[in-house]
Amino acid sequence: MGPPRPGHGPPGRLLLLAWLSFNCACISSAQLGRGEWTPWGAWSACSSTCGDGVALRTRRCLRFPGEELCEGEPRRYRVCQLHACPSGSVPFRAMQCSLYNSKPILGKPARYQWVPFYGAPNLCDLNCLAAGHNFYYTFGRVLDGTRCSPDSPELCISGQCLRAGCDGILGSGAQRDACGQCGGRNESCVLVQRVFRAAFPSSGD
């Protein structure tokens, strides 16, 4: 048998394998993109039984190692269509403040009764005023679905005030177009032109 041809011996084989591995890695990394979302899950039950409330649904991002995260949000919230709460019901934010009534704060022996305070910078923090005193305390965030202020159409979601679009989804920004379609492009309007002719009585001779 003759001597091995150049490039096919052990050193050449190692170089060939290294070259193939490098190129395969480059090709696979170039082909990798973003992950893909699973379909949206079912909507959860509403966060309240009357008044303001939100429902939640989620989805998962499926991706291979090296792929980028999916584009978009894993959670979506929509406004629940609920009947008005009975007269005399405690507002949602006030109820959350009242949970801390007569409980020790910062190790102090004094006990306070708490009511909502709306003068703090972040409206989605649970800012509660000590009744009969001139200070307030922040007990973390309010629960999702809490109205940002009594007269505001916006609701707190994950610490942010969000307004529902015409699709009922909080933060979607969806608006009705000139044709009245939610999220439309002014393409569904039908232009109707009518010509009205007035009939004048003929004049007699």
Question: Using H for helix, E for strand and C for coil, what is the string for the chain?
Answer: CCCCCCCCCHHHHHHHHHHHHHHHHHHHHHHCCECEECCCCCCCCCCCCCCCCEEEEECCEECCCCCECCCCCCEEEEECCCCCCCCCCCCHHHHHHHCCCCCCCCCCCCCCCEEECCCCCCCCEEEEEECCCCCEEEEEECCCCCECCCCCCCEEECCEEECECCCCEECCCCCECCCCCECCCCCCCCCCCCCCCCCCCCCCC
Assess whether pLDDT exceeds 50 at residue 29: no
Tell me which of 76-80, 139-143, 145-149, 174-178 is least confident: 174-178
Instruction: Find the mean pLDDT for residues 108-123.
Output: 93
pLDDT of residue 137: 95
pTM of the predicted model, to two decimals? 0.67
Task: With respect to residue 175, please indicate whether it lies within any of the assigned structural domains.
Answer: no
Query: How far is Cα 97 from Cα 141, in angstroms, rounded to an integer?
Result: 11
pLDDT of residue 47: 87
Assess whether pLDDT exceeds 50 at residue 30: no
Assess whether pLDDT exceeds 70 at residue 106: yes
Number of domains in the chain: 1
Assess whether pLDDT exceeds 60 at residue 128: yes
Task: With respect to residue 127, please indicate whether it lies within any of the assigned structural domains.
Answer: yes
pLDDT of residue 181: 86
pLDDT of residue 33: 86
Could you tell me which residues are beta bridge partners of residue 141?
Answer: 125
Domain assignment of residue 109, given as a range: 92-162
pLDDT of residue 188: 76
Task: With respect to residue 99, please indicate whether it lies within any of the assigned structural domains.
Answer: yes
Task: With respect to residue 200, please indicate whether it lies within any of the assigned structural domains.
Answer: no
Tell me which of 28-37, 111-120, 124-133, 148-157 is least confident: 28-37
Task: With respect to residue 59, please indicate whether it lies within any of the assigned structural domains.
Answer: no
CB of 117 within 8 A of CB of 131?
no
Task: With respect to residue 155, please indicate whether it lies within any of the assigned structural domains.
Answer: yes
Could you tell me which residues are beta bridge partners of residue 162?
Answer: 155
Query: How far is Cα 87 from Cα 81, in angstroms, rounded to an integer?
Result: 18
Task: With respect to residue 205, please indicate whether it lies within any of the assigned structural domains.
Answer: no
* C-alpha triplet 43, 179, 153: angle, nearest 5°: 45
CB of 11 within 8 A of CB of 38?
no
Query: How far is Cα 138 from Cα 150, in angstroms, rounded to an integer?
Result: 18
Task: With respect to residue 43, please indicate whether it lies within any of the assigned structural domains.
Answer: no
In whole numbers, what is the pLDDT of the chain averaged over residues? 82
Top pLDDT among 37 and 27 is at 37
